Amino acid sequence: MKYQAIRANERLYPVNLMCRALIVSVGGYYAWRTRAPKARAKGDQRLLAHIRIAYAQSRCNYIGLRVQRESPSIEKNQADLSAPERALAGRLMRVNHAGEIAAQALYQGQALTARLPTIRLAMEQAAREENDHLGWTQQRVHQLGTHTSYLNPVWYAGSFLIGAVNGLMGDKWSLGFLAETEQQVVEHLHEHLTRLPQADGESRAILQQMQADEAQHATVALASGAEGLPWPVKLWMRATSKIMTRVAFWI
């Protein structure tokens, strides 16, 4: 699984750095690269099994989501939106729902490979808290008469792998990745709040509560000893996030 994680992220991090972080030899990694495809395929199947199990456990099939808090939109009057406003709000909420799918996967991947039990528990707790956001956004998407992203399994699988790799690189790095992710999400939610139709108080209430929760997650991660990430990693995170948000807006 370590070699597979390195292979998947060769374009993101130097191979020698990942090998040191995962306590494997560079020579051993390249020897693995030259093995028969059949041997590598078996390893890929094991990794895929981990992803499928976590995906099922996260209830990302949207059946029986365990939401601990009521949606903030319940306190708002139903908005009288025009067709264009409803379409825009629906697309924005679809993007946020896809982001919550990715957040679930990221935390579960980090929990899978975390070294300290306390960090593992913290990641699992963060995933459970994000479940509220997942339920709220899913409900709002349906209320607005649209669909969740057809590519949610893709967002989940990619984020799970990224989370697992970051967990393997050390708990402080993993916390740093979490903190940076949440800080970027707060910025993203602020942008969506400015784009939402003024009359859509229900969606606005959901995004405002999500923004407060994500900011709290970032604060906890920093207080727990999060390591600052190099600026190229931060830029890469922003770029991949932008790709996901633009695609999920339409699909």
Instruction: Return the CATH number at 208.
Output: 1.20.1260.10
43 and 23, same domain (yes or no): no
Q: pLDDT at position 191, please?
A: 92
* Residues 27 and 80 occupy one common structural domain: no
pLDDT on residue 57: 46
Instruction: Report pLDDT digits (tens) over 194-218.
Output: 999 988 988 999 999 889 888 888 8
CA dihedral 11, 248, 150, 175 (to 10 degrees): 50
94/193 same-domain check: yes
Q: Do residues 26 and 132 both lie within one domain?
A: no
Q: What is the pTM of this model?
A: 0.71
Region of 242 (left: φ > 0; alpha: ψ -120 to 50; beta: rest) is alpha
Residue 6 and residue 123 in one domain = no
* Same domain assignment for residues 232 and 145: yes
pLDDT on residue 71 = 81
Same domain for 121 and 187, yes or no, is yes
The pLDDT of residue 136 is above 70: yes
In which domain, by residue range, is 17 found? 1-35
Closest CA to 236 of 7, 11, 5, 2: 11
State the sign of the Cα–Cα–Cα–Cα dihedral 118, 123, 127, 132.
positive
DSSP conformation letters of the chain: -HHHHHHHTTTTS-HHHHHHHHT--HHHHHHHHTS-HHHHHHHHHHHHHHHHHHHHHTTTT-SS---SS--GGGGSPPP---HHHHHHHHHHHHHHHHHHHHHHHHHHHHHHH-SSHHHHHHHHHHHHHHHHHHHHHHHHHHHTT----TTHHHHHHHHHHHHHHHHHT-HHHHHHHHHHHHHHHHHHHHHHHHHS-TT-HHHHHHHHHHHHHHHHHHHHHHHTTPPPPPHHHHHHHHHHHHHHHHHHHH-
Question: What pLDDT, on the 0 to 100 scale, is given for residue 37?
Answer: 55
In the chain, the number of structural domains is 2
Residue 248 clears pLDDT 70, i.e. is over it? yes
Q: Are residues 1 and 76 in the same domain?
A: no
Do 76 and 143 touch, CB atoms closer than 8 A?
no
CA 127 to chain centre: 9
Q: Are residues 6 and 83 in the same domain?
A: no
Which span out of 31-45, 116-130, 162-176, 233-247 was modeled with the highest average pLDDT? Answer: 233-247
Packing angle between helix 231-250 and helix 171-195, nearest 10 degrees? Answer: 40
Q: Do 188 and 156 fall within a single domain?
A: yes
Do 20 and 53 sit in the same domain of this protein? no
* pLDDT tens, residue by residue, 57-66: 444 443 345 6
